[in-house]
Amino acid sequence: MKTEVSIAMPDARALGFDGARAFVFTPDQGEGPWPAAILYMDAPAIRPAMFEMGERLAQAGYYVLLPDVFWRAGPYPPLDIVKARAGDPEMGALFAKLRASTNANLQMQDTGVWLDWLAKQPKAKAGKVGVTGYCMGGGIAFRAAGTFPGRIAAAASFHGGNLATDAEDSPHRLAPKIEAKVLIAGADEDRSFDAAQCERLDAALKSAGVEAEVSIWAGAKHGWVPTDMPVYNKAAAERHWLELIKLFDGALKA
């Protein structure tokens, strides 16, 4: 079941909003409480494909929060990532506006609020939660595991990029703080997460003693999980569901 909610944010009123929109998904069967999870969207933003994913994770027995990471940009029409990449000026401008509305610091600020909100929901078991993200959201999920180590028990990133760069704020530098079980699945032929980054991230997590699986999935291109993406790969997407739910079940239901 899907429900739209508005979550109070520290800077919402200053921006002219009552709060940030988000969506909650719960199992069709039972009354809860259920283990809680945050599903971080990819760059093409909130849309039916993200709702499908929220519903599917919920039916695996989870209370799922899908927040709009771009809430500071205000209401926006559907983003057509294919047109944006093809050079459509309208879509390109919208995409630029949405991406400019957030950054790593704001994403972690927001995640703290979303974790606090989950902790207050009677149907969510949110002492420790699972987080999963896609593309842009993959980096957010991984960064969250290092920023809120006592509150995140499992973290997954699928076709995320720039997870282990030379930048001073590269997410992999948070590895020593992570307490969660981690699953990183990079996309094949993806310049934003190549073999060198994969090796660097794997080494950082191993050095920190984090229980983690880090790999690049052969044949799965960047964006392979959401069903509306041109590179959607059904076999790899189903593998993603199996491994994600195994990760969450082991950390949150054991």
Q: Where are the domains of the chain?
A: 2-253
Euclidean distance between CA atoms 247 and 154, whole angstroms: 7
Which DSSP letter does residue 4 get? E
Find all residues with CB under 8 Å of 229, minimum gap 6, and list them: 44, 49, 81, 223
Minimal CA–CA distance to 9: which of 103, 80, 84, 72? 72
pLDDT of res. 23? 98
102 neighbors 127 (Cβ within 8 angstroms): no
Inter-CA distances, 186 with 4, 76, 89, 193, Å:
31, 29, 30, 6
**Do 213 and 183 meet the contact criterion of CB atoms below 8 Å apart?**
yes
Eight-class DSSP state of 14: G
Return the pLDDT at 80: 82
Which positions of the chain have pLDDT values less than 50? Answer: none
Report the pLDDT value the prediction gives residue 81, as an integer from 0 to 100.
Answer: 76
- What SS3 state is found at 126? strand
Q: Which long-range CB contacts under 8 A does 6-15 form with residues at least 24 apart?
A: 7/67, 7/113, 7/114, 7/117, 8/113, 9/71, 9/110, 9/113, 10/109, 10/113, 11/72, 12/71, 15/72
What pLDDT, on a 0 to 100 scale, did the predictor assign at position 84?
A: 80
Task: Report helix, strand or coil for 33.
Answer: coil
Average pLDDT, the chain: 96
Give the residue carrying structure tokens 């076709």.
159
Beta strands in 79-188 (DSSP E): 124-134, 152-158, 181-187
pTM: 0.97
2-253: CATH topology = Rossmann fold (3.40.50)
How much is the pLDDT for 86? 85
Q: Which pLDDT belongs to residue 83?
A: 83
